[in-house]
Amino acid sequence: MARPATRNEKLYLRLSSEAKRLLKAAAIIANCTLSEFVLGSALTKANETLADRQTFVLDAQRWTEFLAALDAPPRDLPRMARLLKAPGFFDGGSDR
């Protein structure tokens, strides 16, 4: 069995009395300490937030299509080229 990582970092958090009461109540219901509850909840939310930026799953057909799209030459996008060459709002001389 893998040993749990040593917890040697601290995170300080300022919160309202109401927020702390709510977190304590939830920790009691979850049968854990306030620190365990807050850390577990924060890690769960962090994993959810990062999930679609770390891994995505495709079946074999979609994987093949994805690779083909990556390997395909870039499409000519004349409207995009014009947009990128046109002066922008912050370039000055704009009538906006």
pLDDT at 1: 62
**Residue 31 reports pLDDT greater than 90:** yes
What CA–CA distance (Å, rounded) separates 60 from 75? 25
Could you read off the pLDDT of 35-86 as tens digits, one per residue? 999 999 999 999 999 987 888 889 999 999 999 999 999 999 999 999 999 9
- Residue by residue, DSSP assigns 68-86 as HHHHSPPPP-HHHHHHHHS
What's the CA gap between 33 and 64, in Å, rounded? 48
Kindly report the pTM of this predicted structure. 0.55
Tokens of 18: 């109401």
- 10-24: per-residue pLDDT in tens? 999 999 999 999 999
